[in-house]
Copies of this chain bind each other. A is one copy, B any other.
Amino acid sequence: MIIPQPALERLCRMRILLEELKEKQITVDSQELAGLCGSSPDTVRKDIGYLKNFRGGKQGYVCSELSDCIKTTFNLAKRRKACVVGLGKLGSAILEYPGFFPAGYELAAGFDSDINLVELKKSGVPLFASYEISEKVRQLGIELGILAVPFEAAQKSFDRLAEGGIKGVLNFSSAILKMAGNIYVRNISFLHEFDIISALSAGIEI
């Protein structure tokens, strides 16, 4: 399938919002969706147009149908296994986050280089030492990796995930990891986001 990445991102957002919305109402039109998603009605319609086998009606779109269509189109219906690398403050918070399972993900492992931490820490998720990453990822069939390690450790951890055959990585370190092979990477840095907001609220930008 082929679709512009911005459209894909907006549709994924839309799907999450639709999950909330469908509890409250049956249908939604492009204008209301635009309001919720922070885009324009035109963009909403074009985005939805990329979804094949889906048509709106006179009342707009049926929330549950649209949500399901996005889910199947983007292969979000199947439950995927994920792991967290780095069990500091952020990694631990992610590990305990209850929202993953309902959203279709399963945290199947946590890793840290500190062996004591791994042995002592209590968690509903099995914990391992970092040198076991590639082995466990392969063994458990983990598809997604969350990197919550310091800058220096990011590349090494990434390589281990890659060696285990990971499919996608969400990187919270300030290092910027690049796609390697077929591994998709999203880089998110808190400090980076802070800086952007600071700059924008200081009067920068077109």
Interface residues of A (CB under 8 A from B): 1-5, 8-9, 12-13, 15-17, 20, 36-38, 73-76, 80, 82, 89-90, 92-94, 96-97, 99-100, 103, 105, 143-144, 151, 167-170, 174, 176-178, 182-184, 186-206
Q: Is the CB of A15 within 8 A of B197?
A: no
Q: Is the CB of B103 within 8 A of A199?
A: no
Q: Is the CB of A195 within 8 A of B93?
A: no
Q: Is the CB of A195 within 8 A of B74?
A: yes
Distance, CA A196 to CA B13, complexed state (A): 9
With A3-B205, A37-B176, A144-B198 as contacts: A188 and B191 at CB distance below 8 Å: no
Q: Is the CB of B99 within 8 A of A89?
A: no
Nearest 5 A/B pairs, CB to CB: A168-B197, A75-B202, A167-B201, A93-B93, A74-B199
Find A205's partner among B5, B94, B151 (CB 8 Å cutoff). B5
Residue from A13, A99, A187, A197 with most neighbouring chain B CB atoms (10 Å) = A197
Q: Is the CB of B3 within 8 A of A75?
A: no
Q: Is the CB of B16 within 8 A of A189?
A: yes
Distance, CA A204 to CA B73, complexed state (A): 9
Q: Is the CB of A195 within 8 A of B38?
A: no
A164 CB → nearest B CB, Å: 14
Which residue in chain B gives the minimum CB-CB distance to A36?
A: B176
Which residue in chain B gives the minimum CB-CB distance to A35?
A: B178
Q: Is the CB of B97 within 8 A of A199?
A: no
Q: Is the CB of B1 within 8 A of A203?
A: yes
